[in-house]
Amino acid sequence: MNMSKRSFQVLALLFIITACFMPSSAFAQAQKPVFSEVTVHDPSIIKANDTFYVFGSHLASAKSTDLMQWTQISSSVNNNNPLIPNVYEELKETFEWAESDTLWAPDVTQLEDGKFYMYYNACRGDSPRSALGLAVADDIEGPYKNQGIFLKSGMDGISNDGTPYDATKHPNVVDPHTFFDKDGKLWMVYGSYSGGIFILEMDRKTGLPLPNQGYGKKLIGGNHSRIEGAYILYNPETQYYYMYMSFGGLAADGGYNIRVARSKHPDGPYYDAEGHAMIDVRGKEGTLFDDRSIEPYGVKLMGNFSFENKSGYVSPGHNSAFYDEDTGKSYLIFHTRFPERGEEHEVRVHQMLMNKEGWPVVTPHRYAGEKLGKVKKSDVTGDYQLVRHGKDISADIKESVDIRLNQSGKVSGEVTGKWKKTGKNRIELTIDGKKYHGMLLRQWDTNAERKVMTFSALSRDGDAVWGSK
């Protein structure tokens, strides 16, 4: 179609006029991000060919190019699963040892040869009888071919250090995460409940553990404390390794919550914000699943919560994390259940920001492409819904309360205190006498269907507060 310069200018002017007089709700609708949901329990993320993939329990997987719109690739363990076709024959030894017909949380990494290495695992479930092995594929979407089991656990066997297996001190060999440190060394962190979380140094060419390590080095846990799903991510800006973990039970009534500790070294020691050494965190001697022993420790980033508009999560956890070197953005990827929706779960992605103290804070709303930028004080003042995550491990849902950040710097409403904007997008709050350091970010509120100012902050006790305007 031929169009004169004059006609084009007239059309452009009409568009501008229409936009100016468009109701704000219509404009917001036009700007509304699009999400599509998938179900992948324990999602472990990897980026390949400009696409993000998550691999999870039960051989489920999904992919996305923007971390918002996801496509399911696979959903259950069966012989037609494209990741590992004929899986019951391919992994026969694994299923027989673990006395199971399903697989637990895997991890996929790409090594120097360009191939993709899947660390699969299976567990009996009512005991730590587990097997952890390796399968390799030329294409990230499979098919993966089994290379065999390299770790076993269980009461009927000898442990990898040559002594009889003791579930209070030896690991349950599940939930692996394999990662490169800043110097190019390959590591695998793993473990769930039982004897705790362990780490092994791996051969970066074969993907298998280097010899003579046994189960490796212990990082946290023991005496059947409910700590699992460890995922370690290095941040070049802070020069710390961050170990994310899930405390509590994964069911809707289990109080699952995401915590973090950090170290200057990939294999620890790891510490929380109060300086507690994670190696000392374990269940009380002679106890089983004693949450009271472990709940004071680690930095709790998020747990059960609900805003007033009933948007919220139940038992969010078993996360992975991703740092984008090109943009400097960090993301938390996890599965979560929801208030009044039972055991149904979906994948969620939230952006993470680093606060003044060098700890990650999780933004209150799911990622919708938002970018960190300069914030005016006038944009921050106003009414907020405040969520206080606390440090407890509980099935209780933390309901938001109404507060106001006043121009004067006072916090009023259902909690009192003071606040101030520090720097172009940082915030410092004192709530009921406790100081929190955090970040300000304008985000898309899915339930309200509009952009809102938010804050996310942590105290030196390691508990998080979220605000959504």
Q: Report, as residue numbers or ranges, the catalytic residues.
A: 42, 228
At position 8, the amino acid (one-letter code) is: F
Name the DSSP class of 238.
Answer: T
If you write DSSP's letter for every residue of 71-125 in order, what string do you get? EEEE-S-STT-SSSTTHHHHTHHHHHHHT-SS----EEEE-TTS-EEEEEEEE-S
Question: What does R_g of the chain's alpha carbons equal in angstroms?
Answer: 23
Q: How far is CA 411 from each of CA 220, 332, 379, 455, 458, rounded to the nearest angstrom?
A: 38, 29, 15, 14, 17
Residue 457: its H or E element = strand 450-459
CB atoms within 10 A of CB 19: 11
Distance CA 70, CA 425 (A): 30
3-state DSSP call for residue 439? strand
Token pair 């027989």 in the structure block, residue: 96
Beta bridge partners of 453: 442
